[in-house]
Amino acid sequence: MGKIWAIAGRELRSYFVSPLAYVVGALFLLVSGYLFSLILFGSREASMRGLFENLAVVFLLITPALTMRLLAEERARGTVELLLTAPVRDRDIVIGKYLAVCLYLLFLLGLTLIYPAILAWVGKPDWMPILSGYLGIFLLGASFMAVGLLASSWTSNQVIAAISTFAISLIIWLLPASSSVVGQQFGSVLEYVSVLSHQQNLGRGIIDTTDLVFYGSFIVVCLFLSIRSVEVYRWR
């Protein structure tokens, strides 16, 4: 565990000493702030359901930027050799790096707490759905991050990693739209696999164990495959 935290800490520090964390943070706040005001003025509803549904698109855009370098950079610089020969296990590397992006995700979500504060200022929001909505949006973001990590483990080219992340996330995003094409049975499977549909329940204030199981499994599978991919690199 200590090694995982050490790797996570190193990674996180590298975010915050470079402009990356701040620029991504500022852009994230810009887009989500714009969405928040627009939805608030339009719906005149003291809830965050609309924002949570739309934040997914923001994650789709910023995830590649955050995850592309995670493993690809190490590979390109050759520092992955250092990591691989150091007395840490492959999964420590993968989990440590993933932990770092998740912590950064929490940081981003922490910034958005000004929105519920504004809602409390102008009205009386229903707090529990907002809380579950945050859980949902965190799990959604964490799923995108896991995809990004996986894509980054395949290549030493950061651009390829970023574009693969974007493409995979986009396809997963669009899966429910194709469900009507492929027939009811298979369509419901596609709808289930979409990371978006599971966030809808949480966004409106329903905690369903199905959604939690899905997100847990999705992230575990991505991490597992990333570990495998790092191992494959070691053999060669």
Site residues, other proteins (CB under 8 A): 16-17, 19, 21-23, 25-27, 29-30, 32-34, 36-37, 40-41, 44-47, 89-91, 111, 114-115, 118, 122-126, 128-129, 131-132, 184, 192, 201, 204-210, 213-214, 217, 220-221, 224-225, 227-228, 231-232, 235
Comparing CB distances to other proteins, the nearer of 163 and 173 is 173
* 121/107 Cα distance (integer angstroms): 23
Nearer to other proteins, 128 or 159 (CB): 128
The SS3 assignment for 105 reads: helix
Minimum separation from the CB atom of position 166 to other proteins (A): 23
Nearer to other proteins, 9 or 25 (CB): 25
**Which residues make Cβ contacts (< 8 Å) with residue 145, sequence separation at least 6?**
63, 66, 67, 98, 101, 102, 105
Min separation Cβ 210 and other proteins, Å: 5
Q: Which of 179, 100, 196 is nearest to 139 (CA)?
A: 196
Q: How far is the CB of 159 from other proteins (least distance, A)?
A: 24
Q: What are 69's two structure tokens?
A: 């370098």
47: left (phi over 0), alpha (psi -120 to 50) or beta: beta
DSSP 8-class letter at 156: S
User: Which is nearer to other proteins, 38 or 159 (by Cβ)?
Assistant: 38
Query: How many CB atoms are located within 10 Å of the residue 17 CB?
Result: 9
Nearer to other proteins, 163 or 168 (CB): 168
Kindly state the smallest distance separating residue 95's Cβ from other proteins, in Å: 10
The nearest distance, CB 20 to other proteins, in angstroms, is 9
Q: Taking the CA of residue 126 as centre, how many other CA atoms within 13 Å lie in the half-sphere pointing to its CB?
A: 12
